[in-house]
Structure 1
Amino acid sequence: MTGRAGRRPRVLVVDDSAVVRGLVARWVEADDRLDLAGTCADGEQGVRKAGELQPDLVVLDVEMPRMDGLTALPLILKAAPRARVIMASTLTLKGGEVTMRALSLGAADYAPKPEAGRVAGAEGYRVELLQKLVALAGIQGSGPAREIAAAVRPAPRPFTVSNKVELLLIGSSTGGPQALREVASALPRDTRQPVVIVQHMPKLFTAILAEHLSKVGLPASEAIDGEVLKAGHVYIAPGDNHLTLRGAPGAFTAHLDQSAPVNFCRPAVDPMFSSAAAIAGRNCLAVVLTGMGHDGREGVRKIREAGGRIIAQDQATSVVWGMPGAVAEAGLADQILPLSDIGPTIARHLKGQM
């Protein structure tokens, strides 16, 4: 894991809480993949230090005095253009709304903070934050990952009228909200298929994501257990619930459960893709967008074996080329496309033009 000029990625921590700031700083210092660039107590200091230190990564608190994270974000990105920013947000409705706005303004990802007073025992926050820092830093250098990606080619197959798309499925994680917004805005308003999305997100955040997607495209909502999926509607797996599908074309239904996490995630993409393969098979169009890990790969394998179509986002436009990279490198993608091409390509598939 390297940053610029072959060194370890350097992290700037911006948080008004001395306790949180100290904890995150110690976590970074204890991780031999990262270096601590510095710490700041508010957004104004963060902007100044970002310009002076040119960090590779910034952990930016949302709520701070003097200058909050949302105000500081664009200024930090201007001061340190190559930095990747992770927003640290509490799991509240307000925190989720601000985080979604931050993602639309250029933040690379977010990490849900535990409630005040519980930070000292926040092992889950530590693990998630460090994983995301390392994943985001990994795309900034060159090396084996880029060489492998350059050699990956799509594995297209011919499709016939019997492969008419009846169900659009999308899986995403790190960088997903921004990518989903772009894809959703390109979907035809007369779409005749249900659209089902699994985005790795906690409770509250998925409801806010649905609201944001509704503003740029088709109506969207969190899926409800047992509901029949309507054509031209976007359904998002609620945080902390797996979403699977049952039924048949014209009568697909959503089903939620809180069974064990899959690929360390709940919701996970694989259960949704796998269930769709069983009921729609060759009539599925599955899209894997930016995200770390390999969630979605095995579900995609089942959809491909059943005759469905697969699109993976390319590395150059992915915030993290983990999930789509796993699909592409396994030879499961019919098309490997930049983000700007994915929405229009989906639209052509949905209209039977491909």
Structure 2
Amino acid sequence: MSQVHAKFIKTGRIRDPSAAAELLRFSALYHRNLCYAHHILDQMDPPNCFSWNTIIRALSESDDQNDDDPFQALVLFCLMLVDELVEPNRFTFPSVLKACVETGRVEEGKQVHGMVVKIGLEDDEFVLSNLVRMYVMCGAMEYAHVLFNSNKVNVERKTQMGGTVLWNVMVDGFVRNGDFRLARELFDEMPHRSVVSWNSMISGYAQNGLFKKAIELFRDMQMGDTCPNYVTLVSVLPAISRLGALELGKWVHLYAERNGIGIDKVLGSALIDMYSKCGSIDKVLQLFESLSQKNVITWNAILGGLAMHGRGKDVVDFFSKMQQAGVGPSEVTYISVLIACSHAGLVQEGKSIFDHMVRIIGLE
């Protein structure tokens, strides 16, 4: 990267806005070398809108919870405004709004909202959906609701043509807030529902203990024209497990296999948990052995299932296999194993595992 940059400076191509912008994009988005990208930006005279957008986007998308990159994205946006040579466009604001979310700055988000209106982008669906998402993620649902309702005519027209992004953002917002009455009202009101719409409601119900409602909605989905996907299955399986709906759980398993939905570690663990809680331990063992990849969650699911069914010796055996496979036990693992040993009267095995937990792992 530095060699290419040096060549650009030597040949004068760094003064070509398009060439310099591509170099900056490669550095910021692919190499994730944001300091170097900032250095390139400083050498551009002047930076174009694409370059500003690129580095602001890269900073706002930082995965590290401990760094201040999202805050730096807001600082750069302010510098862009001070520059006055470049006006923000519809691709600038989503990244800036994401930075507001990451830093929890709803007041700054409101100021950005004002700029959107001033520039005349308040009817742009891309910008509008990100504005609503910012208010939702910052917990300002009243602002999100007002903004959604003020654009409802346009939103409904676009939804009838297949666009559901803004509706989904609002439904997800009410679900996050635990307001299932408003979430369901909005969901039922949607002129068109995507699989994301269904998934938001089903997962929301399941994660908040409304298992019967989650299953009822899943059945409604099956009767409609929207096909369940991987996320749908992972979302509904906990509800199926808690209600012991084995036949529906079998249907989910068969649906995944017939429709090419890969049963990976996450879906596999959810299916194992479902079969365990529905009393089908033989199916649990069969499914576990068929999984090509297993992580600590998968092992915990099989250990918990065996413990639930009083198969203490099998729990100890599988715990040994887990260690042989090089998968490190978690606190949940030890709880399952020790409970199984206690119930099965496996005193020596339990003592040995407890000592291992304290001495080797450091848990107490």
Quickly name the TM-score band, shorter chain normalised: under 0.3
User: Structure 2-normalised TM-score?
Assistant: 0.24
Structure number with greater CO (CA < 8 Å, separation at least 6) is: 1
User: Structure 1-normalised TM-score?
Assistant: 0.25
- Determine which structure has more spread, i.e. the larger CA radius of gyration: 2
Which structure shows the bigger proportion of residues in strand conformation?
1
